[in-house]
Structure 1
Amino acid sequence: MTVLHPAPKISTLTNIRETLSQAMGDHLLEAREEHGEFLFSVKREAIDDVLRMLRDEHGYQQLMEIAGVDYPSRAERFEVVYMLLSVTKNHRVIVKVQTDAETPVPTVTNLWPNAGWLEREVFDLFGVLFSGNTDLRRILTDYGFEGHPFRKDFPLTGYSELRYSEDEKRVVYEPVELAQELRTFDFLSPWEGADYVLPGDEKAEMPPVADPKVTDSPKDTGAGPKTDEKAANKVSEGSPAEKDAGEDRTPPPAPTEDRPARAKRKGKTTDTKAATTPRKTVEPNKANVAPADDAGASGDKAE
């Protein structure tokens, strides 16, 4: 008899892509599988209906994350990624929409309350607007911060920095001043051998990499008759441990029960000599044990 568990450990994922694609209908733009997960790109204005359908009709109960991605070369440069989890199927799906810096995305705070915090993160870091979010304000950057740090065109050094001024007794904003210029990495592995000095390595000693180590002759490896003679000699030859190996210089201690000159104990404590003396081996009673021949004979009679 097959037993169906309401929350199986491993759910059957057969035809999930086709089933969800048909359920999304005209809202679906693209469906594909990457890294064992299904990705669905849908129309921006239909994101509320699609996520509600996935939650109520297909069992994707939890909104795990809302993330943003920036593609500056696209007309709609931003992607908003919704990651859903089904605790009954033990399965995840990803839903994506595209937008730009001016066009808002419908909020999903009416479906999941935690979407309010997640949408604020995407707004703060990418500048994506969400229509219907009543508390769309920065959550990670400071008050008065200019720009959105996760955009690809955001300057690496930022615009300004803040610090507490002991003279003015308040927080002040100043232009960013770096004590060291930002290094540019050219993606050349230094350990593969660069033909120039890397920044910061001006004082490093350069090993003679032009002279490779070879083992073509015994001179390079140290092998030869002299090495073979030394290898035949025992390293421990003549050592004290080897000389005294056949002699047992430490006799065992005398047993405590064989010391009659031991001082008597004080008080009412009785002596334990009888307890430490081994018992004598009692020979078995020959009268009670039948000889082997008799035992065999009695066995034959019993049969």
Structure 2
Amino acid sequence: MSEAPNQPTAEPAAEPVVTPIDALAAAVAAVLGPDALEVAVAYGEVTAVVPRDAIVEVMKRLRDAPELAFINIVDVCGVDYPERAERFDVVYHLLSPSRNARLRLKVTTDEDTPVPSISGVFPGAQWFEREAYDMLGILFTGHPELRRLLTDYGFDGHPLRKDFPMTGYVEVRYDDAQKRVVYEPVRLNQEFRNFDFLSPWEGTTYVLPGDEKAKTS
């Protein structure tokens, strides 16, 4: 009886490689549970989207979970998407020194709905939340001192909103007659309205100082 030809043996399937950032994303999703609306890896960092009203509880869990230990608040900022009903993303950046890891956390809100302040969890967030209020008009409840931070007293509007005019609403000058600083509506001089975008080295009828050296006979 002839022997059967050798059958090729199937190689065992390679196990998927779990990178440290994927492991971190899985740990964040496990700690947040149903409060994790989305957990993904974006731009080299783990990004999680959570409900606005759960942000304080979520911050406590991320800080106190020993497998995460996000004990440092790095930044709180806002992003404006005017075309959305909830036009603002409030973005929190956390740092875990023990894991050498960062986490980006997002909630959404609109112009009128406040976001719970996390200053009771991370006192360092007070400054960042004031900046987001000043620049974008994002409201925070439970903040001990929510007032403008970078703009002047009586400033109109929020400069980082996409619909804020480039020239602003008012201009400031010192009035010699009144002996004080006054605020007035912005006035654009005619030469700024009709700027022709020409380089100063083009379209002139005179020779600029130094150009005569470049002239050849």
TM tier relative to shorter chain:
0.7 to 0.9
**Aligned residue-pair number:** 183
What letter corresponds to residue 93 of structure 2 in structure 1? M
Question: Structure 2: how far apart are the matches of 1:17 and 1:48?
Answer: 20
Matches for 1:210-225 after TM superposition, within 5 Å: none
Tell me what 2:13 maps to.
Answer: none
Tell me what 1:146 maps to.
Answer: 156
Question: Structure 2: how far apart are the matches of 1:126 and 1:61?
Answer: 26
| TM-score, scaled to structure 2 | 0.78
For residue 25 of structure 1, the aligned residue among 33, 40, 46 is: 33
Tell me what 1:118 maps to.
Answer: 128
- Residues 31 and 12 (structure 1), Cα distance of their counterparts in 2 relative to 1, 3 Å cut: closer
Segments of structure 1 that go 5 or more residues without pairing to the other structure are: 1-10, 185-197, 206-303
- Deviations for 1:196-221, whole angstroms, at most 9, x for unmatched residues? xx72248716xxxxxxxxxxxxxxxx
Question: Structure 2: how far apart are the matches of 1:13 and 1:67?
Answer: 23
Question: Structure 2: how far apart are the matches of 1:183 and 1:78?
Answer: 35
Tell me what 1:132 maps to.
Answer: 142
Tell me what 1:291 maps to.
Answer: none
Task: Tell me the CA shift for residue 14 of structure 1.
Answer: 4.8
Task: Tell me the CA shift for residue 183 of structure 1.
Answer: 8.5
Query: Is residue 36–residue 48 contact of structure 2 (8 Å, CA) maintained in 1?
Result: yes
Question: Structure 1: how far apart are the matches of 2:120 and 2:193?
Answer: 44
Query: Does residue 202 of structure 2 align to residue 204 of structure 1?
Result: yes
Q: Which consecutive segments of 4 or more residues in structure 1 shift more than 4 A?
A: none
Tell me what 1:178 maps to.
Answer: 188
Question: Structure 2: how far apart are the matches of 1:70 and 1:106?
Answer: 18
What letter corresponds to residue 181 of structure 1 in structure 2? F
Question: Structure 1: how far apart are the matches of 2:180 and 2:200?
Answer: 42
Identity of aligned residues (%): 45
| TM-score, scaled to structure 1 | 0.57
Task: Tell me the CA shift for residue 167 of structure 1.
Answer: 2.3
Query: Does residue 64 of structure 2 align to residue 56 of structure 1?
Result: yes
Q: Secondary structure at the match of 1:38?
A: strand
- Residues 15 and 183 (structure 1), Cα distance of their counterparts in 2 relative to 1, 3 Å cut: farther
Tell me what 1:81 maps to.
Answer: 91
Q: Secondary structure at the match of 1:67?
A: strand
Tell me what 1:159 maps to.
Answer: 169
Higher strand share: 2
Question: Structure 1: how far apart are the matches of 2:120 and 2:113?
Answer: 20
Question: Structure 2: how far apart are the matches of 1:25 and 1:47?
Answer: 13
Give the root-mean-square deviation of aligned CA atoms.
Answer: 2.2
Segments of structure 2 that go 5 or more residues without pairing to the other structure are: 1-18, 204-217
Task: Tell me the CA shift for residue 23 of structure 1.
Answer: 1.3
Structure (1 or 2) with the larger CA radius of gyration? 1
Q: Secondary structure at the match of 2:162?
A: coil
Question: Structure 1: how far apart are the matches of 2:21 and 2:29?
Answer: 14
- Residues 164 and 118 (structure 1), Cα distance of their counterparts in 2 relative to 1, 3 Å cut: same
Task: Tell me the CA shift for residue 12 of structure 1.
Answer: 4.3
